[in-house]
Structure 1
Amino acid sequence: MSVLEAALAAGRAAALELMRETVSLSRPGDDGFNWDTGTDTPAAATVIYTGPARVKPTAQSRGEEVDAGEANVTLREYTVSVPWGTTVSQLPAVGDRIDVTASPDARMVSLRLWVTGLQYSSTATAWRITAEDRS
């Protein structure tokens, strides 16, 4: 094992220790509309990943207020790190949803984030996903 590979293995092990949240990454399905009843039919989401993660606000995340329909929404940016060696059934995409299902910080449980970008690198210690809180 090269010096670089040993350093990456140590860094990836350390990054895994920081992953104290459990998240579920899913792709929302296309909602349908029932013309007979006049109601929306929500489609089931496809789960892409469930497991450990580190969820933390980005340094520049100050919260940006925007109008969304008739409501004001504050966007806050987060970085979600999952284990570097994670395999998924399909690659995450912008618009996918990340739900925090467990955390030592109870205030984070039920936090819903939306994927805004992905970062890939063979020398990274974790797989990082950029997401935003749209509450």
Structure 2
Amino acid sequence: MAAEARMLDTVRLFTQGEDVFERDTGTTVPGPVTVLYEGHARVKPVSQSTGEETQAGEREIVLREVEVALPWATALPADTRVLPGARVEVLTSEDPRMAGLVLWVTSSQFSAQATAWRITAEDRS
């Protein structure tokens, strides 16, 4: 399939549970990670996305829209849907600057006529 032939990146799609504050140590422990998919994908910026400046804590960040295409036949664990807040980590890419990039899912597209499963995400750097 032509769409899958262009999937040259490797990603991990995951969710993370709520952080837990430990009173004894005074630290916050990240919640458990659930990996929904790990494998080939195509990660590309949305061309008309110029980036939106916003405040996060005390620093200014730019939100850039990114499309992540996964193979059409990608199977998720039973009773699982990809919802906003899930994350996509780029593990490998032909563009070495993308490795390690973490994207935040904003929506997931569904269609019986699609050639790939497309997820819209934000680069919050």
TM bucket, shorter chain: over 0.9
Larger radius of gyration: 1
Q: Could you say which residue in structure 1 is the equivalent of 2:97?
A: 107
Superposed CA deviations along residues 79-101 of structure 1, whole A, max 9, x for unmatched, are 00001111011221100010000
Counterpart-to-counterpart distance in 2, 1:88 and 1:15: 20
Which of the two has greater helix per residue?
Answer: 1
CA RMSD of aligned residues (A): 0.8
Alignment partner, residue 134 of structure 1:
124
Gap regions ≥5 residues in structure 1: 1-12
TM-score by length of 2: 0.95
Q: Which runs of 4+ in 1 moved over 6 A?
A: none
**Aligned pair partner of 1:121 in 111, 118, 123:** 111
Provide the rounded CA distance (Å) in 1 between the counterparts of 2:60 and 2:114.
36
Match of 1:95 among 85, 102, 115: 85
Distance 1:61 1:111 in 2: 17
Task: Looking at secondary structure, tell me which structure has more strand per residue.
Answer: 2
Question: Match of 1:59, as an amino acid?
Answer: S
TM-score (norm 1): 0.88
In structure 2, distance between residues paired with 1:59 and 1:105: 17
Local SS of the residue matching 1:107? helix
Equivalent of residue 8 in structure 2, options 6, 9, 20: 20
The answer for the alignment partner of 1:65 in structure 2 is 53
* Partner of residue 30, structure 2: 42
Aligned length: 123
Counterpart residue type for residue 113 of structure 2: T
